[in-house]
Amino acid sequence: MRSHAPRVMLEGALVIPFRNEVRMRTNDLTNEVLAGLREPRPYPAVTLVLPTHRTRPAKTQDPVRLRNLIAEASRRLHEDPPVSERVRAEIVGQLEQAEDEVDLVYTLDTLVLFAAQGEHQFWHLPRSSPVERIVISDTFLTRNLVAAKAQNRPYWVLTFSEDRARLWSGSGEQLVEERREGFPIEQDKNLPERERVPRTGDFPTGYRDEAALQHLRAVDADLAKLLEHEPRPLIIAGLSQGLSALEDVGTHTARSALAAVPKGGLTEARASVVFDAIAPARAELLKARTDGALERLGQARSRKEFAAGLDEVWQAAQEGRLALLVVEEPFRQKVRLTGGHLAPLPDEPEETGGPGAAGEAVGVADAGEVRDDIVDETVESALSTEAEVVFVPDGTLEEHGRIAGVVRYAWSGA
């Protein structure tokens, strides 16, 4: 009977703790988690990537496709000379245990399984992967998790009306109400009647009476405190006249919001309703991240701190000089190292390799060696030196060879 490890929810992902560690609940995929996954393992460390489906009828295919992917991984391990039969059985057992623990009823867009000797874990990611992948190396392939982390950048959501305000913490596809910094805020019901009279004219919405204005000032003040202590992109949602009024009161904190959603009735709504209502604003959040990365690339070009093209960016990553790496989301490239430079090769369906095939730094001494996906290796190298990695839509970096970066310093005379 296979044992079942406890499940722990991380932002946008369902995880099985590994190396006997029990992980805390968190709203983000942390740099520490990624660093732990990138640590070298005794060969072989297996990564399986399976595009999954959220709805029927396609969803019913996922269990069969997962079983076939594990069977293919077992075959490749069996044909890999450095892998003994004992080790192969251990790794396949870890994959099968993960298969038992995966609940495919709750799949998102991609399932990632990691397995090595004595450990396994799996992640449901709210981000599509274009192809199934099997990578056998001495490190796990974390590219999909890095992309999900970039997509899961945390943000704040404020929903408010003339008498109530609620604060939400968002990250990826999670949205959770927060009860801190004074939130939720209710209008004071004990104000004198004179403060409930509209200041001028007839304003049935209530946004012009003193009680409503005091309420908005309280919301603005607590929002300013929140953003000072924990800055994040802000989305606000309320009636149009309320959005205008909130921008005008107090410290004008609402004017710094990334997006405003003119929709009322959300102060009593469930998280799923609020999440759907702010969908356009969430898309704007992702676009702003892409635009910010492209702006930094443009500034780097003028300072001569810019690298473009796979060969140049890969070299900068190996030297630890990248501060920012920007990659088109689907970009993959098989290469041969020749004289310390990269020669592109046609891609082939077989995706396996010996130690170092998915992340280990490669030096000039390895000239002539074929690397299955040098883009993944570049991402891993950049992360290992604490560079920021941003994935952008296909075609965004076409003029730069689909990959570019900002370097921390340029070589003399560059």
In this predicted model, what pLDDT tens digit does every residue of 235-253 receive, in sequence order?
999 999 999 999 999 899 9
The least confident of 40-49, 152-161, 185-194 is 185-194
Q: What is the pLDDT of residues 327-348, one digit of tens each?
A: 998 898 989 988 888 988 886 6
Residue 253, Cα to own-chain centre: how many angstroms? 27
* Cα separations in angstroms, 21 against 12, 24, 30, 120, 384: 20, 10, 15, 12, 22
Q: Which uninterrupted H or E stretch holds 178?
A: strand 174-178
Torsional sign, CA 355, 359, 365, 370: positive
pLDDT tier at 211, thresholds 50, 70, 90: confident
Residue corresponding to tokens 């390895």: 366
Task: Give the pair of three-digit tokens for residue 23.
Answer: 């992980």
Task: Enumerate residues 6+ apart whose C-beta is below 8 A from 297.
Answer: 306, 324, 326, 400, 404, 405, 406
**Residue 164: its pLDDT value, please?**
96
Residue 322 has pLDDT above 60, yes or no: yes
Cα–Cα–Cα angle for 302, 304, 305, rounded to 5 degrees: 110
**Residue 67: its pLDDT value, please?**
97
Amino acid found at 236: I
Q: Are strands 234-238 and 259-262 parallel, antiparallel or unpaired?
A: parallel
Greater model confidence, 344 or 192: 344
Greater model confidence, 131 or 413: 131
Task: Enumerate residues 6+ apart whose C-beta is below 8 A from 159.
Answer: 165, 166, 168, 236, 237, 238, 266, 267, 269, 274
Residue corresponding to tokens 């924990």: 230
Q: What's the rounded mean pLDDT across residues 192-215?
A: 60
Cα within 13 Å of Cα(125), Cβ side: 24
Average pLDDT, the chain: 83
Q: What is the pLDDT of residues 48-100, one digit of tens each?
A: 999 999 999 999 999 999 999 999 999 999 999 999 999 999 999 999 999 99
Residue 334 CA to residue 75 CA, distance in Å, equals: 22
pLDDT tier at 18, thresholds 50, 70, 90: very low
* Cα separations in angstroms, 39 against 123, 143, 384: 18, 14, 10
pLDDT tier at 196, thresholds 50, 70, 90: very low
Amino acid found at 101: E
Q: What is the pTM of this model?
A: 0.72
Question: Under DSSP, is residue 174 helix (H, G, I), strand (E, B) or coil?
Answer: strand
Listing DSSP states for 251-265 in one string gives T-GGGG-SEEEE--S
For the chain, the 3-state helix, strand and coil shares in percent, each to the nearest 5, are: 35, 25, 40
Q: What is the pLDDT of residues 237-295, one digit of tens each?
A: 999 999 999 999 989 999 999 999 999 999 999 999 999 999 999 999 889 999 999 99
